[in-house]
Amino acid sequence: MPPDWPKLEAEFARLPRREVVNLAARAAERLAPVLARAADHYGPEAFEWLHAVAATVRTAQRYAAGEPVTRFALDLASDAARCAANAMAGAAQLLGPAATHEACENAIAAAAFAADCARARSPAQAAQRAVQAVRVAGEVPPATGPLWPDGEPAWFAEGLARYRRAFPPETGIPPPDRGPAS
């Protein structure tokens, strides 16, 4: 049964902003690796979309952790995710939509909403953006610890592995994260 979204939004509005941003970022982080699966249909550009989403999530996570993040960095992060969505839409027009297209759209949207949550003008607006991130992700993630307390789904682990093959450590491009171990 899906959460009571208005109730969740009211709960989020009462939380400190950084906690709300953390939940939104973790929701996005849980979905991000699905973009790697789109590479089978769209080609290697899908890994670049995943990189944009991962960078957006990392920016929101830095904000949530209390690190100094400028409004411009948050604007740029949100726009990077939206550019990935635009690029994916263009690829879908040329090649037809991938079987994972909707899940990929949700992953990108969740990342943009996480950055939007951090740059929101009010607690109510931040709560609204966080609920949007959680809603497209499908559920409220745990606030701390592993992203998948009951074990990672196979598609998540596969997506991370494929991304790491596309962007090996020597490229200097950090991969999406699995979240803290505990």
Residue 10 domain-assigned (yes or no):
no
Residue 4 domain-assigned (yes or no):
no
Residue 27 domain-assigned (yes or no):
yes
Give the pTM. Answer: 0.87
Which structural domain range is residue 31 located in? 17-168
Report the number of distinct structural domains present in the chain.
1
Residue 61 domain-assigned (yes or no):
yes
Q: Six-digit token pair at 46?
A: 């899908």
Residue 5 domain-assigned (yes or no):
no
SS3 category, 15: coil
Residue 77 domain-assigned (yes or no):
yes
The whole-angstrom separation of Cα 173 and Cα 167 is 6
Q: Which helix (H) or strand (E) holds 155?
A: helix 154-166
Residue 176 domain-assigned (yes or no):
no
pLDDT digits (tens, 9 = 90+) for 38-60: 988 998 889 889 989 999 999 99
Residue 30 domain-assigned (yes or no):
yes
Looking at residue 151, its pLDDT comes to 86
- For the chain, the residue count is 182
pLDDT digits (tens, 9 = 90+) for 137-164: 888 888 888 888 888 888 888 888 887 7
